[in-house]
Structure 1
Amino acid sequence: MARATRMLRPAALLACLLALGGCSSLGNMMPWGGSSRPKPAELGPNVPVLGVRQAWTSQIGSTQGVALDVRVVDGTVLLASAGGEVVALNAATGADVWRTRLGVPLASGVGSDGRWTAVTAKTGELIALEGGREIWRKPLPAQAYTAPLVAGERIFVLAADRSVQAFDAATGYQLWRQQRPGEPLILRQGGVLMAVGDTLVAGLSGRLVGLNPDSGSVRWEAPLASPRGTNDVERLVEMVGHTSRVGSSLCARAFQAAVGCIDTTRGTVAWTQPASGGEGIDGDDAMLFGSEGNGSVVAWRRTDGTRAWASDRLQWRRLTAPLLLGRSVVVGDESGLVHLLSREDAAPLNRLATDGSPIAATPVVAADTLVVVTRKGGVYGFRPE
C-alpha cells in the first residue's frame, strides 16, 4: 500500500523520514483502505490451464517496510530485506551467488549492473557493493525509496526531496546533483529512474524528465499529470515505478491520476488516460497492463490508450504491478497468491501459492523462471511444466 510523507526542509525532512513520526500516510485515506474495503469475491477452484511448477525456494529476511524492487541481471536475481541483507541468487537454481549483511535497515530495493550493486538505507545513506562486498557509503540529503540506477560506471539516486544525484560507482564521489521543487507530499514507494539510450529519465512529480547523465542538465520534460484538488493529499502526483518501454515509446503511471506514453526522442506526450492505480504497468508494442487501486486489472492499447478490457475478477485484492510474460499477465496479491491471467481477456490461466503473506514486489522473470518475493521474505522460483 502506498504511503506519503510531507516534504519539509532537508534537515526536518530527514528527521521525519527516519522517525516516521508526524508524517502523513495515505493508507487509511484511500476509499479501499481500512475496514471499509469491500470483501473480495471468492476465487473458486484453481483450474491450471497453463502448467507451472515450483522449481525452488529461498529465504531472505522480512521485506516489510522496504520499497522492494527486485533486479535481474542476466541470470542473477538481486533483492534485499528490510533488515539490511542483500542477496544475489542464481535464477536457475535459487542458490546464493553471494549474500551480504549491511547491518542497517534499508529503504529501497537493489540497483545493479552485475558488477556494482547499490541500495539506500533508512539511515539516509547510499551503500555500494562490488561482487557482494561493501566498498563505500555516502550520506544523502533525504531518504530515497527508489532503487538506485547503476549504469555507465555511475550510480544515480532519486531522493525524496525530488533531487537526482550521480556518484562515481568505484569511489562514491558525487558527480552532480539536480534539485527540483514539487508538492509537499511524496510517496514512500519506488519511482521512475531509468536509462533510455544516452538519457537518464526520472519521474519528478507528475512529469517524466530527461536528464543528461554527464551533467544533470534537463533535456526535456513530459507531463503525464498535474496537481489538482484543494489539499495536499488531493494534489499529490508522483510517477510510480515499473514502466513499459518499446524503442522510443515509454509508458508509465502517475499515482492515482493517469496512465500515459511519451516519445523519449522528442520528450513529447503521445497520450494520457485517466487511471486510478498506485502501482506501475507493463506491456509490449501492442498492449499495456495495469492493476487499479480497487483490484481491477486493465488493458490499454499502446497506440492511443483506449481501453481493450477490464477485469473485476480480483477486485478488492491489493495487487502488485503486473508482469507480462508470454500469453500471461502475472500479478501478486496480499494473500500470497500469484495470478496468471490471459493477456487477451484476463481469463484465469493458473494460480500459484506462496507462504500466505503479501507479494512484496512486482514479479520478475530470469533464466526462464518466474520469481516472486513475499513480505515474510520467501523467494519462489516457478517454471513451466
Structure 2
Amino acid sequence: MIRPIRQSPPLPCPPPVGGRVGWGVGPSLVLLGVLALSLSGCQSMGAAFSNTVSGTIDMVMGGGDTTEPPKPLEKIEPEIEIETVWDEDAGAGDGGQWLSLGVAGKGDRLYVADHEGRVTAFNLQTGDEIWQVDTGLALSAGPALGMGKVLLGTIEAQVVALDQDSGERLWTGQVSSEVLAPPRAGRKEVAVHTVDGAVFALDIDSGERLWSTDQQVSPLSLRGLGAPEILEDKVLVGFANGRMAMMRLSDGKVDWEKQVAVPSGMSELERVVDIDATPVIRDGMVYVTAYHGGVIAATLLDGEVIWRNEEIIASASPTITWRYLFVTDTDSDVWGLDETTGRTYWKQAAFHHRRLTAPVPYGEWLAVGDYKGYVHFLAQEDGRQVGRERVFRSPIRTPPVVIGDVLIVYSSGGDVAVLKVEH
C-alpha cells in the first residue's frame, strides 16, 4: 500500500487535436464516460458536460458506492463548546453547482462571492456589511486576495479583480476556458489554472496576459481543479493527467515537470489520476492527492516522489500540521497520516458518504463540513469526535477557513457563519 517510489518515465502523450493541445470528443467517448460511471456505482454530483473550449469531458464525482446511504450521525459526548459569533446571508451561494466559491479574509475583513456575481465584504468581528457589488458575471471560483485586490474566476473564461477597500472593479482579464480554481496572486502576476489544462499569468495591475502554457488533458476527468501555489517567483501546478510542474512566474519557463501519479487499471475510469488538489508545501516537500493515484509526497526541488499511500482514493486537498498529514477520501472517511512516511495513524469512518469537505486544522482539532450543514470537530491525534454543530440547512461544500481564533463556514445556499470554539 505504501512504498518508496522510483520515478517512472513520462507517459507518451496522444497527438493534439486542432490548434490547441487537447483530446477530441465524440459520441463514443461521451458514452464511455457515462457507462463507466454507471457501472462503477460512483455518485454524480452533477451532469457530465462537454467543455466547448478545450474539447474535454469533465465528470463530477461524488465518490464511493451509491448503493450505500450516508451514515447517520451517532450521539457523541462533546468535549468542546462551539459558539456562533455571527451568521449572515451572503447571496445565492453556488446554486447547487460544483464550483470553487467560498470565503477569504484579511485583517478585519471577510470577502464572500456567489455564483450570480455578487461579492460582499463583511466586518469579520461583527458581521456588518462593508460593501456589496454585483459584477454581472457568472462567478465560479474565488475569492482570493493579494496586493489589495479581490480575485475571482468566471464560467465564461474571465478573471476579475476588485479593490479590497471599495469593491470597485479594477480589471477583467480573459483566459481560455472556465476557471474552477481560485486565482493566486504573486507580487506582479496572477496565476490562473483553467479547466482545459492551461496555466496563465496575468499582470496583477492590469489583467493583461503575460504568458500561457498548454497541458495535455485526459479524455475523462473529474470536474474540478487544484489552485496553483505560488512560491516567491515560481508557481506549482498539478494537472488532470497526473503530472505536476514548477514554472517561473516571470515567463512560464518550466523548472521541472514530473508524472507523480501513474494511470493504471483496465477501464478509463480506473485510469483517472486527476490532481484536483491544491499542493501543500512544507519543509522542501510537496503533498498532493491524485484520484486513483493515492496521497503523494514529492520533493519541491525536482518533483521526485518519496512516498505514495495508494490505500486512499481522494481528490480533496490534504492539509498538514507539525506531525500529521490529513485527508478526506472519496467515501468521506478522514485519515491521519505520518507526513514523513505516509503510514496511517488513524481513520475516522463515522461520516461515511456524508460528502465531507477537506479537513482544516483549527487549534488542536480538525474541522470538516458535511452535506447536511454540520461542522464536525475531530481530535488531531486520534481522529475522535469532540464536537459538532449544525450551522446551516444546506450543504457545506468548501472547506472552512481559519482566521485568527475563529472558523468561517460558507454554505452552498450562500450563508456565512463565524464560529469560535473553546474547551
Q: TM-score if structure 1 supplies the norm length? A: 0.89
Contact 1:211 1:219 (8 Å CA) reproduced:
yes
Q: Distance in 1 between matches of 2:130 and 2:119?
A: 11
Q: 2:185 aligns with which of 144, 150, 154?
A: 150
Deviation (angstroms), 1:229: 3.4
Shift of 1:104: 1.9
| Cα deviation code 1:73-95 (max 9, x no counterpart) | 34433331111112233332223
Whose Rg is larger?
A: 2
1:251 equivalenced with 2:287 (yes/no): yes
CA distance in 1, matches of 2:52, 2:277: 22
Q: Number of aligned pairs?
A: 374
Equivalent residue for 1:190, pick from 220, 225, 228: 225
Q: Partner of 1:307 in structure 2?
A: 344
- Calculate percent identity across the aligned residue pairs: 24
1:160/1:186 contact within 8 Å kept: no
Counterpart residue number, 1:219: 255
Distance 1:152 1:344, change over 3 A: same
Q: Secondary structure at the match of 1:338?
A: strand
Contact 1:198 1:213 in 2 (8 A): yes
Structure 2 equivalent of residue 344 of structure 1:
381
Matched letter for residue 396 of structure 2:
I
Q: Residue 8 of structure 2 corresponds to which residue in structure 1?
A: none
Specify whether residues 185 and 41 from structure 1 end up closer, same or farther in structure 2 by C-alpha distance, changes over 3 A only. closer
For residues 111 and 51 of structure 2, the distance between their equivalents in structure 1, rounded to whole angstroms, comes to: 25
2:414 to 366, 377, 380: 377
201-210 vs 262-271, greater mean Cα deviation: 262-271
Matched to 2:400, the amino acid is: P
1:271 Cα deviation after fit: 1.4
1:200-255 alpha-carbon deviations (Å, 9 max, x no partner): 11112312211001010111124331223344433222212344322322211112
Q: Could you report, residue by residue, the CA deviation over 1:289-311 in whole angstroms, capped at 9, with x for unpaired residues?
A: 11111121111100111111112
Q: Hey, what does 1:62 align to over in structure 2?
A: 93
Q: Residue in 1 aligned with 2:205? A: 170
Question: In structure 1, what is the Cα distance between the partners aligned to 2:259 and 2:418?
Answer: 38
Q: Residue deviations 1:341-370, cap 9 Å, x none?
A: 111111111101122211020111113110
Quote the RMSD (CA, aligned, Å).
Answer: 2.6
Tell which deviates more after alignment, 137-146 or 229-238: 229-238
Relative to structure 1, is the Cα distance of residues 360 and 98 closer, same or farther in structure 2, using a 3 angstrom cutoff? farther
Task: Give the unaligned 5+ runs of structure 2.
Answer: 1-15, 26-48
Residues 69, 147 of structure 1: 8 Å contact kept: no
Encode CA deviations 1:159-210: one digit per residue, 9 max, x unaligned: 1121111111211211111112131234322313111243211112312211
Q: Give yes or no for the alignment of 1:329 onto 2:366.
A: yes
Q: Provide the secondary structure at the position in 2 that maps to 1:109.
A: strand
C-alpha change, 1:162 and 1:336, in structure 2 (3 Å) is same
CA contact (8 A) 2:182 2:227 kept: no
- Whole-angstrom distance in 1 between the partners of 2:89 and 2:238: 32
1:127 offset after TM fit, Å? 1.6
Contact preservation (8 Å) 2:184, 2:227 = no
Which residue of structure 2 lines up, in the alignment, with residue 3 of structure 1? none
Asked if 1:25 corresponds to 2:56, the answer is no
Tell me if the contact between 2:229 and 2:279 (Cα under 8 Å) persists in the aligned partners: no
Q: Match of 2:51, SS? A: helix
d(CA) in 2 for partners of 1:187 and 1:25?
Answer: 5
Paired with 2:200 and 2:226, the residues of 1 have a C-alpha distance of: 14
Give the aligned partner of residue 272 of structure 1.
Answer: 308
Aligned-partner Cα distance in 2 for 1:62–1:288: 30
* Secondary structure of the corresponding residue to residue 239 of structure 1: coil
Separation of aligned partners in 1, 2:103 and 2:17: 30
| Residue pair 1:67, 1:188 contacting (<8 A) in 2 also | no
Q: Deviations over 1:74-130 (max 9, x none)?
A: 443333111111223333222334322111211222222151222111122222222
AA partner of residue 285 (structure 1): W
**Aligned pair in 2 of structure 1 residues 70, 55: CA closer, same or farther (>3 Å)?**
same
- Aligned pairs for 1:8-23 (under 5 A) are 16-17=50-51, 23=57
1:361 to 385, 395, 398: 398
State TM-score, norm by structure 2: 0.81
Give yes or no for the alignment of 1:141 onto 2:176: yes
Evaluate the alpha carbon distance shift between residue 241 and residue 91 of structure 1 in structure 2; reply closer, same or farther with a 3 A threshold. farther
